[in-house]
Structure 1
């Protein structure tokens, strides 16, 4: 099940002035944070609170996974490593600021799409070429 959280006017993540100053999500943001959907699509323009909602969602899912006996894993993917770290740091602050996310790689893995893909191919080579070992082409390899 995929839940789409969007509006034509980017109002979903535009917090009220009171909630911005207090860091409290509005009811639509809270709905995205507490959703049990398999996937959530957040669509909003810059500066509307997407990162804060994603950090809150990560903290919420982390708390839920701690209460479960299942060995749940959470994957945080971003286009840049600093962006993924920022989401995890934001979640850590919500969890008490003790590097909970960073110190628990079995429960939360964060990184870029490229790093995640590389790890998958290294761990499960049959998903790609089937070769036991491979190398990543660098800029020089592209021209040879």
Structure 2
């Protein structure tokens, strides 16, 4: 680390001590000397720095992948929730329809029952009338004896 700081100090001094062009506030630099300093800086950077950089980049990829997976999980959960809500609506509609069918069946059964009672009442009335006539016929026959 000391080597990096020392190289940066030399780079700064080189820049400050380079001849300047006053009108444009520019300096003339020795390309070779600057390249040597840059290479020295590059070589001075510890290998751990590059490894740390790779770890950070890898962590960023992992985090990005995790976010993408989390978004996919959320989307899937929303789809499943929509399906459940839809199924719930279907279930409610089916229950409602079933209640309507049961109510209609009860009404029809009640109507059929009333019609059967009326039919039986009518049939029994006819049998009763017939029996009355037969009884009268029997009484008449009996009285003629």
- Normalised to the residue count of structure 1, the TM-score between the two structures is 0.21
Name the larger-Rg structure.
Answer: 2
Query: Which structure shows the higher helix fraction?
Result: 2
More strand by share: 1
Give the TM-score normalised by structure 2: 0.21
